[in-house]
Amino acid sequence: MYLINITTLQLERFDVEPPPYATLSHRWRDGEISFGEFADLDKRQGKAGFTKILDTCAQARKDNLAYVWVDTCCIDKSSSAELSEAINSMFAWYRSAKVCYALLDDVFSNT
């Protein structure tokens, strides 16, 4: 499992017991950041999906968590074995998170 370190904004791999982390539940939009793009600062900063990752990290910091998991960039989709494992493990990853943030960017308030 890969998690984003909210301080370094780097992906870290945890093969055994991951540290406490938050997850982000969100709707995929144009401009999401892939696993491969995440390591490249120039590629990720220009993408719309990076803002929601930064916002997720900021909220995790407020909740005293050091890591977050975001499906768009924490799964290596270029590896069919890892993608298959991720699909089979996603329920457990969401269940094991300390908190799940839901981004409802298509819901508007009248206030």
Per-residue pLDDT tens over the stretch 49-70: 888 899 999 999 999 999 999 9
**pLDDT at residue 109 above 70?**
no
Q: What spatial distance separates the first Cα and last Cα of the chain, rounded to whole Å?
A: 40
Q: Report the pLDDT averaged over residues 2-13.
A: 95
Q: How far is CA 7 from the centre of its chain?
A: 14
Answer with the residue of higher pLDDT: 33 or 5: 5
Q: Report the pLDDT averaged over residues 16-27.
A: 92
Answering whether pTM is above 0.75, one says yes
Answer with the residue of higher pLDDT: 4 or 77: 4
Q: Within a 13 Å sphere around the CA of 14, how many CA atoms are in the beta-carbon half? A: 17
